[in-house]
Amino acid sequence: MTSPTTDDRPDERDPAAAEPPAPSAAVRRRRRTGRVVLVVALVFVVVVLALGWVAFRAVQAAAALQDAQDVLGDAGTDVTSGDLDALEAALPAAQDATARARAASSDPVWTLAQHVPWLGEQLRAVRTVSVAADDLAQDAVPTVVEVSRLLTAPTMRSDDGRLDVEALAQAAPRIAAASQVAQRAHEQVAALRTDRLVDQLAGPVRTVDDGLGRVAAALDGARTVSALLPGMLGADGERTYLVLALNSAELRAAGGIVGTVVEVHADDGRLSLGRTLSTADLRPLPEPVLPLSDAETALYGERLGRWVQNAVSSPDFPRAAELVSARWERETGDRVDGVVATDPVAVADLLGVLGAVRVEGGPRLTQDNLVEVLLHDAYLTFPDPADADAYFGRVAAAVFGDLTTGRGDTVDLLRVAGDVTADGRVRVWSAHEDEQRELARTVAGAAFLSGDHPDATGLFLDDATTGKLDLWLRSRVTVEDLRCTGDAPTATVRLDLSYDPPADVASFPTYVTGSRGDDVPRGSLVTTVTAYAPQGAPLGGIRRGSAVVSAASATVGDRAVQAVQARLEPGGSQRYTFEVPVRDGRVEVWTTPTTSSTGYVTATCGDAAGD
């Protein structure tokens, strides 16, 4: 038997010897490349799909935000104007639009895409605006409508003029909650850097921010009013206030000299008039009623504390109120709970709601003629200054007396009160520390120096003619040339003055034209212009036209101050400018309200000029 050949034997080789040979390095590289290409292709597809989805959601969000922009832009106006019907009608559309925008910008793909450089910043802005607008529409505006309906109901103010302070106190917590929502929404949107956003997004963001800002400001004011007004109107016991009727024919920082002081009592929401004293009753003192600081003496002299008319020369209303209340206590022996000041323009606006009044010795007074009658005609009708002051006092008592009755529509009165307060024509101080802390935060508190307003600029006017000619002074304050970039952004504050009295101004009584002597021709006007820098900021030279003018300088607290005198012949005009820092993209100017301009001007980066 023959042995099997090697070929006929079973395969006894190593199993590894049966495997195909290993691929070459080139083959391995091709395979790795193929896998990388596949992964890249898959990633590309995922990215394209994700970007497509984000783009789709962005279109949805943009459309919704455009709808919200249209609605919220109007809503901001509706809140500040008191047009509740328009606001309530617009609310469902606003809620639908903001909910759609929020949903479109909140899915997981969108959230992941927010981490992509540049694109993520755009997406985060859309998300921020969507959430802020939705919070406002869902949580704040409905409360505004509900509470406003309550506060403007016929039962809120009775026929005898009593306000329902209990209802106001009950509404206060809900107003505070709505204000907190609006403030948070505004802060979130205001923090966005619109200079990093594409133009198609930056514009809508600024518009929504503006609307949110107006709603937040209105609600913050409503929060302060609802928190303070019940107590201030005597819900917890009778209060006594002094109402200062300012005379804008002779300017001071607050809007005019104190012409008449009216005592008003408040008890459980009901107002009643007390005594009325004119400046003839409150004669000048030999020494200031309260000690004055060195800066006050340097800027205003002892007249600030000796003459009650001049107490409002200080741009800080709490200081002016302290001086007036001290003078009242010295004269009458009675202490007061607070001081309110207002000017003839604000009183005329009130007459538009209350209706005309007539007082002894003068014509029927309406919204259209009150300013002219008080600030000019009365001085020709009553050659004796004491008689003119007495007439001014009778008018003030008549108008404020009407406020203590049920005359006038409550909604319209609230609207006018809000408007004139925002314009700086109504100022309020409380002798109660807790109330004053709240008031000092607001425009109504006018605490330019003593409040927390470090970034505000001041520009105040003070008559130096010792006459009554400022009815014909036209003033306009603007902020221009905002330079918002760089290490030290700045802007220019500009004051335009013009003077156009009647042709026969030189024939007016001396106490109207003033008695400056031979250095000022009769009928000409001299005004002291005082500029205050923001806290900690330098104040460069004040320019008249293109030339720097010589100025008196002082330091008040941490503010640099300069004062110059503007002298205007009839028909003349002058322009003053100075530079201020732009802080947080904003310039805020507190100024003297006149018959032609308001007392509060703001400008933000992106604006062409001040308001």
Question: Contact 285/346 with Cβ under 8 angstroms?
Answer: no
Low-confidence ranges of the chain (pLDDT < 50): 1-6, 34, 36-57, 608-611
Contact 485, 605 (CB under 8 A): no
Q: Please tell me the distance from the alpha carbon of residue 512 to that of residue 467, in angstroms, as a whole number.
A: 5
Query: What is the DSSP pairing of strand 543-544 with strand 547-548?
Result: antiparallel
Do 64 and 38 form a contact (C-beta atoms < 8 A)? no
| Number of CB atoms found within 10 A of residue 287's CB | 10
Residue 446: inside a domain, yes or no?
Answer: no
Q: Is 247 contained in some domain?
A: yes
Examine the domain organization and report whether 215 and 261 are in the same domain.
no
Q: How far apart are CA 459 and CA 455, in angstroms?
A: 13
- As a whole number of angstroms, the distance between CA 65 and CA 104 comes to 10
Q: Which of 232, 263, 289 is the last residue of a domain?
A: 232
Residue 502 — φ and ψ, nearest 5°?
-60, 155
DSSP conformational letter for 14: -
Structural domain includes residue 586: yes
**Residue 229: partners with Cβ closer than 8 Å, 6 or more residues away:** 163, 165, 168
E strand or H helix at 477: strand 473-483
Final residue belonging to a domain, choices 206, 232, 258: 232
* 393: CB partners within 8 A, 6+ apart: 245, 259, 260, 262, 276, 277, 278
**430 and 483 co-located in one domain:** no
Q: Are residues 76 and 194 located together in one domain of the fold? A: yes
How many domains is the chain partitioned into structurally? Answer: 3
Q: In Å, how far are 76, 177, 248 from 151, measured between CA atoms?
A: 19, 17, 33
**Cβ neighbours for 138, distance < 8 A, ≥ 6 positions apart:** 95, 98, 99
**3-class SS letters over 57-104:** HHHHHHHHHHHHHHHHHHHHHHHHHCCHHHHHHHHHHHHHHHHHHHHH
Instruction: Using the 3D structure, point to which of 232, 261, 293 is the last residue of a domain.
Output: 232
CATH code, domain with 556: 2.60.40
Asked whether residue 247 falls in the same domain as residue 196, the answer is no
Name residues whose C-beta falls within 8 Å of residue 352's C-beta, 6 or more positions apart in sequence. Answer: 367, 416
Rounded Cα distance between 535 and 457, Å, is 9
Question: Is 38 part of a structural domain of the chain?
Answer: no
pLDDT, residue 42, reads 37
Both 599 and 497 in a single domain? Answer: yes
Is residue 319 domain-shared with residue 196, that is, in the same domain? no
Cα separation, 138 vs 80, in Å, equals 19
Alpha-carbon span 411 to 389, nearest angstrom: 33
- Do residues 228 and 243 share a domain? no
Does residue 467 share a domain with residue 423? no
Q: Are residues 482 and 356 in the same domain?
A: no
576 located within any domain: yes
Q: Which of 176, 190, 128, 43 is nearest to 606 (CA)?
A: 190
Q: What is the pTM of this model?
A: 0.83
Q: Can you give 496-560 as a three-state secondary structure string?
A: EEEECCCCCHHHCCHHHHCCCHHHCCCCCEEEEEEEECCCCCCCCCCEECCEECCCEEEEECCEE
| Phi, psi (rounded to 5 degrees) for 216 | -60, -40
pLDDT recorded at residue 133: 82
In sequence order, the β-bridge partners of residue 605 are 607
Residue with tokens 């049920």, as numbered in its chain: 406
The reply to whether 220 and 263 lie within a common domain is no
| CATH number of the domain bearing residue 400 | 3.40.630.190
Range of the domain at 247: 239-437
| 1 within a domain of the structure (yes/no) | no
Residues 6 or more apart whose CB falls under 8 angstroms from that of 226 comprise: 168, 169, 171, 172, 175, 176
CA dist 194 and 215 (Å) reads 20
Q: Is residue 32 part of a domain?
A: no
Rounded CA separation 250/219 (Å): 35
Same domain? 106 vs 252: no
State the pLDDT at residue 40.
Answer: 40
CA 229 – CA 548 distance, rounded (Å): 47
Please indicate, yes or no, whether residues 418 and 458 belong to a single structural domain of this protein.
Answer: no
Is residue 3 domain-resident?
no
